[in-house]
Structure 1
Amino acid sequence: MIYQGVLKKMMTENAEEIQYYLNMESDFINMNQLLDKEITLSFVKYECLNCHLNKEIYRQGFCKSCFFDIPSAGDWIMRPELSTAHLDQEDRDLAYEKSVQLKPHIVYLANSSNVKVGVTRKAQVPTRWIDQGAHEAIEIVEVPNRYLAGITEVALKEFVGDKTNWRKMLKNDIEDENLVEWRDKLKQHIPDEAKQYFIENNAETNLNFPVKKYPLKPKSLNLIKTPTYTGKLVGIKGQYLIFDDETVFNVRSNEGLVVSIDI
């Protein structure tokens, strides 16, 4: 059976084992059901997630002109400390920015390859942790806007990492950490503006990914350079598909590519 559509990050459901779904326009694929099956991925063309034209993808699934124009690709997306909607100041589209920035946000610790600090909207918990491949995570503060979350993250990353080592995460070369102890240790470094939002009593969340075999030396598949690839799917972690020959494919970093999937 062949499916075709533009790639967007896989949707997830946090169950006893995380469930992954790929929306391929007219088809909705439960990726867990493809484990132990041989599949062929083929690059067809580009399709910008905003203008839908066949233009080379620049970043985040958008062509270059859209990336530097649309409000959903503003600098504050990657750097929440640059948010200004709470000041009623526009970056690209104030109505859109208010709709995102003025929502409750969480600053969290997640352990994917190491303990790291991150920011997400409250509505994106635990989706954000799943997307990062974290096997455990905990909230530190819950603040009313993205700016406060951003300045808290900036302050805390002086004392803890803010990046995931994707190879280490995929190899499952990780150690369990006591995130409650990490949370309490970092409390003193929270900026004064956000101290009142510290979460005193909560437990870490544990996540279980559908992986039958972890790669020892993961090698990333580039569908532009290798337009067709065939392999047996043996795992899914974060937004990565893991194949038996240790090839891995990051669905999210390939958003905006139209692909066919032959099962």
Structure 2
Amino acid sequence: MTYQGVLTKMQTEYASPIQYYLVFENDFINMNQLLEKNISIEFVRYRCLNCGLDKPIYRQGFCKSCFFDVPQAADWIMRPELSTAHLGKEDRDLEYEKKMQLQPHIVYLANSSSVKVGVTRKSQVPTRWIDQGAHEAIEIVEVPNRYLAGITEVALKEHVSDKTNWRTMLKNDIEDENLVEWRERLKQYIPDEVMEYFIESNSETNLEYPVHQYPLKPKSLNLGKTPSYQGVLKGVKGQYLIFEDQTVFNVRSNEGLVVNIAIQ
């Protein structure tokens, strides 16, 4: 069976284990059902997620001109402390920015490769943790807008990482941590204007991934250099497909690529 479509990040369902879906325009694939099957991935062309043109993807699924124009790729996406919608100030599209920034946000701790701090919209819990491949996570602050979440993250990342080591995450070379203790340890560094939003009492969420075999030395598949690949699927974690030969494919970092996927 063969499918063709433009890659976007896999949709997920919080279950035990996590359910993964590769969604195309007129079809979808439940990736959990493909474990132990031989799969081929073939690059066909580009399709920018904004303009739809066959132009090389620059970042986040957008061609270069769209990346520097659309509000979905503005700096405040990656650096929430730059959010200005709460002040009524436009960056690229104030209506969109108000919609996205002026809603409840969570500052969290997640253990993907080690303990890290992060920010997400409340509506994206636990999706954000799944996308990062975290096996445990906990909310520490719930604030009414993205700016307050951003300045909290900036303060806390002086004392805890804000990055995930993707190789460590995929190898599952991770130690369990007591995230409640981490939350209490970091409380003193939360900005004064955010302290009223601190979550005093909650427990961590544990996540289980559909992986039969973790890679010892993961090697990343780059469709730009290797436009056709075939392998046996052994697992899915974060936004990565894990294959028997230790090849891993980051679906999210290949958004905007049209591919053929054949299942044998």
- Tell me the TM-score range normalised by the shorter chain: over 0.9
1:30 aligns with 2:24: no
Superposition TM-score, scaled by structure 2 size: 0.99
1:49 aligns with 2:54: no
Identity of aligned residues (%): 79
Q: Which SS does the other structure have where 2:248 is aligned? A: strand
Partner in structure 2 of residue 86 of structure 1: 86
Partner in structure 2 of residue 152 of structure 1: 152
Which AA in structure 2 matches 1:130?
A: I
Question: Which 4+ stretches in 1 moved above 3 angstroms?
Answer: none
Tell me the distance in 2 between the aligned counterparts of 1:168 and 1:135: 12
Tell me the matched-pair count: 263
Partner in structure 2 of residue 255 of structure 1: 255
Show the 5 A alignment for 1:106-125: 106-125=106-125
Q: Which SS does the other structure have where 2:223 is aligned? A: coil
Q: Which SS does the other structure have where 1:155 is aligned? A: helix
Tell me the distance in 2 between the aligned counterparts of 1:24 and 1:33: 17
Tell me the distance in 2 between the aligned counterparts of 1:179 and 1:162: 15
1:239 aligns with 2:243: no
What's the offset of the Cα at 1:27? 1.1
Deviations 1:211-235 (A, max 9, x none): 0000000000001100000000000
CA RMSD of superposed structures (Å): 0.4
What's the offset of the Cα at 1:6? 0.2
Partner in structure 2 of residue 74 of structure 1: 74
Show the 5 A alignment for 1:1-12: 1-12=1-12
Superposition TM-score, scaled by structure 1 size: 1.00
Partner in structure 1 of residue 128 of structure 2: 128
Q: Which SS does the other structure have where 2:23 is aligned? A: strand
Structure 1: runs of 5+ lacking an equivalent: none
What's the offset of the Cα at 1:79? 0.2
Q: Which SS does the other structure have where 2:150 is aligned? A: helix
Tell me the distance in 2 between the aligned counterparts of 1:63 and 1:193: 39
Tell me the distance in 1 between the aligned counterparts of 2:78 and 2:107: 14
Which AA in structure 2 matches 1:201?
A: S
Q: Which SS does the other structure have where 1:193 is aligned? A: helix
Tell me the distance in 2 between the aligned counterparts of 1:228 and 1:71: 33
Tell me the distance in 1 between the aligned counterparts of 2:83 and 2:192: 18
Which AA in structure 1 matches 2:195?
A: K
Tell me the distance in 1 between the aligned counterparts of 2:32 and 2:177: 28
Which AA in structure 2 matches 1:160?
A: V
